[in-house]
Amino acid sequence: MGPLIQCHGIVKIHRSGGLDGANRGFKAVDDVSFSIEKKGNFGIVGESGCGKTTLARAMLYLDPPTSGGVVFDGVDLGSLKPRQLRAFRRRMQIVFQDPHSSLDPRMTIYDSLSEGLINIGMDRADRTKKIGRLLDLVGISGALSSRFPHEFSTGQRQRIVIARALTMDPEFLVLDEPVSNLDVSIQAQVINLLLDIKEELGLTYLFISHDINLVAYMCDIVAVMYKGKIVEQAPTEELFANPRNEYTRTLLASVPGRSGQIDVSSAATLSSADREKTAPAVQGLSKGHVVSDITSRTGDKPDLTEGTR
Amino acid sequence: MSFIQYAAKRLLRLILTLFIISTIIFFVIRVIPGDPALIIGGVDASPSDIQAIRTKLGTDRPLSAQYAEFLWSVLHLDFGHSMISGEPVRSLILQRFPLTLTLAVLGLLIGILIAIPVGVLSAVKRWSGWDYLGLVFSQLGMAIPSFWLGILLLLLLAIKFPVFPLFGADSFISLVLPALSLGVARAAIILRHTRASMIEELSKEYVIAARAKGLPESVIRYKHALKNALLPIITIAGIEFGYMLGGAIIIEQVFSLPGLGRLFLYAIYQRDFPLIQGGVVFIAIVFSLVNFVADILYSIVNPKIRLE
């Protein structure tokens, strides 16, 4: 299977221009390239503020990248006219971190879910049927669809947000910290729900989290993001068994219960050439394992306490 | 909490507010210097004349008795008779009220009609030339006193280019300039709130989700963001309306309009206690009612409040 989505050199600069017209840009995403196979489950892990969310929004052209491009199923998103892009959007959807702000508080669940369907011209009977089916899929009773978002718990809301993303029959779903606002017990339910849905509907996922255990559980391929760049990318087992980047190692070591698994010997087995900062560990990498040359960022402790921003 | 309970609770609070305001105004006007009997009697009146006037007005009785009588009359929405003209305070107020109300409504309307479109444009095109223009307007609108703006408008549009009448309230057109001078300051404030509220809503994830669904930008802005952004504006507009009743006092003076403001101003000059009391309580009633209506409206459009 070929790649569904390919990102080439995505850069996103947040402008913070003042009255003086000075251009104090902040490079939130810095030259990021990766591709995701069809039906793949790609993870991005990194501390808060590393640019994960910005990257997600930029690659979906919700907040278009400053430079670089995205090819989705052979279509260059940057080349689409606004109207074409709008029509294209239904193929890729996003689930946000905070289910409190991601549902319009003045719309009933039914209205929130049917809005996109009305937009593509589906009639009422079909809409109702489809919404009932999707709510059922995420474990929310269809009888509750006339209620407002504030009448649901956080976990239920996140399920509703997932159902909403699915109304458009997307092929690709970006999950931006979908469970970090949920209680741990609910987290597992939602994660498993997401995995079931992926299986059932044959979706492609981009899963973003600061929780490396969660990413390891969910994803086949993991990219580690640090200060706007992807510093290392590898199949999940490979990354955990053989982390090459200094930051990745710090990240893995800082997770409780994970540090034991990081084999000191694996670090020891690195050849002396590997350890030279100037010559990154390109030798001996297995297929699909990519390490950037930013290896000298030790000392920064990764901040894993991701809040609600 | 049901809607009825909510409304009842708000109504109770309204009554309590009115009671407190009545009490404060009753004692405040009696504490400040000035005796209506002296003003009515004039400089030539003898002490016995003054005493006779006091007895007639009832101001020689103990404060507690006067206070009890006043509260009783407020309960009946009957504010007694003017000490100066002898006319019932209620009919004096009701004669003048329509003009002031029209002025305030027009002012608020002008304020909202300027503030909401400009505020939304400012928020949508944040940090653009339009936004700065809106912000500068809002800054000026807040900084310029409305009576000064009124005078400028008169100079320009009634004297230099006599499009509008200089004074009087003979026709609707004569209310345009006073309403405009009142409305600009309100617009400035409501604009700020609209802009801030809209920017906040536009940054929320449901807006991004709507964009991801492929909805047109106009639907995202107006159906989603604006509807939610307008919620706090309802409350602001209610408060601003109250200010406008007070602001009308000065504007009526500038434009020589026979409204409530001028009535009360003269009542204060002449220490016409019943008219001052009645006027303040009346304005308080109107202010509270407007805010009551704004709260009820807010709860109707906001499903969260009603049902919680």
Residue A309 domain flag: no
Examine residue A302 and state whether it is found in any structural domain, yes or no.
Answer: no
Check CB contact of B224 with chain A, cutoff 8 Å.
yes
Output DSSP code: residue A3.
E
pLDDT of residue B262: 86
Instruction: Work out the average pLDDT over B100-109.
Output: 91
Higher local confidence (pLDDT), A256 or B287: B287
User: Mean pLDDT per 10-residue run, chain A (309 residues)?
Assistant: 89 73 76 94 92 93 92 93 91 92 92 92 93 94 92 93 94 94 89 94 95 92 94 92 89 67 41 41 68 55 47
- CA proximity to A30, closest of A227, A224, A167: A227
Size of interface A-B (CB pairs under 8 A): 81
> Does residue B186 have a pLDDT over 80?
yes
* B209 to A90: CB separation less than 8 angstroms, yes or no: no
**Taking CB atoms and an 8 Å limit, are A115 and B215 in contact across chains?**
yes
Residue A31 neighbours by CB under 8 Å, 6+ apart: A9, A10, A11, A68, A229
The beta strands (E) that lie in chain A are given as: 3-15, 25-37, 41-45, 67-72, 75-76, 92-95, 172-176, 204-209, 221-226, 229-235, 290-291
Which residue among A88, A93, A104 places its CB closest to the CB of B206?
A104
> Quick check: B215 contacting A, CB < 8 Å?
yes
B83: in domain:
no
Residue A31 lies in a domain: yes
- Judge: B209–A96 Cβ closer than 8 Å, yes or no: yes
CB A112 within 8 A of CB B209: no
B208 interfaces chain A, CB cutoff of 8 Å: yes
pLDDT higher than threshold 60 for residue B125: yes
Q: What is the pLDDT of residue A263?
A: 43
Of the residues A19, A107, A127, the best mutation for testing chain B's interface (the one with the most B CB atoms within 10 Å of its CB) is: A107
- CB of B227 within 8 Å of a chain A CB? The answer is yes
Q: What six digits make up the tokens of B303?
A: 């499903």
Residue B269's pLDDT band, with cuts at 50, 70 and 90, is: confident
Distances in Å between the Cα of B250 and the Cα atoms of A189, B93, B155, B182 are: 65, 17, 17, 10
Given this model, what pLDDT does residue B113 score?
95
**Distance, in angstroms, between A119 CA and closest chain B CA?**
7
Could you give the strand order of the β-sheet that contains A75-76, starting from the edge strand earlier in sequence?
A: A25-37, A3-15, A67-72, A75-76
Distance of residue B1 Cα from the nearest chain A Cα, in angstroms:
14
Pick from B126, B206, B223 the residue to mutate for testing the A interface (most A CBs within 10 Å).
B206
Q: Do B209 and A161 touch (CB under 8 A)?
A: yes
**Which chain B residue has the Cα nearest residue A92?**
B212
pLDDT at res. A283: 55
Judge whether residue B36 has pLDDT over 60: yes
The reply to whether A51 falls in a domain is yes
Average pLDDT over residues B153-172: 83
Contact call for residues B247 and B260 (beta carbons, < 8 A): no
Average pLDDT score over residue span B6-32: 87
- Residue B208 to residue A96, Cβ atoms within 8 A: yes
Task: Please give the Cα distance from A151 to A153 (Å, whole number).
Answer: 7
What average pLDDT does the segment B50-79 reach?
Answer: 84
Residues of A in contact with B212 (CB under 8 A): 60, 62, 89, 92-94, 165
Which carries the bigger pLDDT value, residue B249 or residue A46? A46
Which residues on A lie below 8 Å from B204 (Cβ)?
A: 101-102
Longest Cα separation, chain A: 67
For residue B102, pLDDT over 60 is answered with: yes
Nearest C-alpha of chain A: how many angstroms from B216? 8
Contacts of A152 in chain B (CB under 8 A): none
Q: Domain residues for A173?
A: 3-291
Q: What is the DSSP letter of A206?
A: E
- Residue of chain B with shortest Cα separation from A57: B208
Taking the Cβ of residue B38 and every Cβ of chain A, the question of whether any pair is shorter than 8 Å is answered with: no
Per-residue tokens: B141: 């609108």
| Amino acid A20: pLDDT | 55
Residue A305 domain-assigned?
Answer: no
Chain A residues in contact with chain B using a Cβ-Cβ cutoff of 8 Å = 17, 57, 60, 62, 86-90, 92-94, 96-98, 101-106, 112, 115-116, 119-120, 148, 150-151, 161, 164-165, 167-168
- The better pLDDT of the pair B301, B140 is held by B140
pTM to 2 decimal places: 0.78
Of residues A90, A112, A164, nearest to B214 (C-beta): A90
Confidence of residue B49 (pLDDT cuts 50, 70, 90): confident
The structural domain count of chain B equals 1
- The enclosing domain of A208 has a CATH number of 3.40.50.300
Residue A303 domain-assigned?
A: no
CA distance A182 to chain B (A): 17
Are residues A58 and A25 in contact, defined by beta-carbon separation less than 8 angstroms?
A: no
User: Among the ranges A148-157, B32-41, B49-58, which has the highest mean pLDDT value?
Assistant: A148-157
What is the model's pLDDT at position B183?
92
pLDDT at position B169, please?
67
* Mean pLDDT, chain B, whole residue set: 87
Residue A75: exposure state from Cβ atoms within 10 A (0-12, 13-18, ≥19)? middle
Q: Answer whether residue B109 is part of any domain.
A: yes
Using CB atoms, which residue from B213, B227, B308 is nearest to A89?
B213
In a domain, B184, yes or no: yes
Owning domain of residue B159: 92-260
Q: Which residues contact A155 (CB under 8 A, 6 or more apart)?
A: A182, A183, A186, A189, A190
The answer on pLDDT for B244 being more than 90 is no
Is residue A163 in a domain? yes
Count of domains for chain A: 1
DSSP state of B81: B
- What are the Cα distances from residue B268, in Å, to B64, B143, B279? 22, 28, 10
In a domain, B301, yes or no: no
Calculate how close chain B gets to A174, using CA atoms only, in Å: 11
Supply the CATH number for residue B214's domain: 1.10.3720.10
Q: Could you tell me if residue A297 is inside a domain?
A: no
Any A CB within 8 A of B216 CB: yes
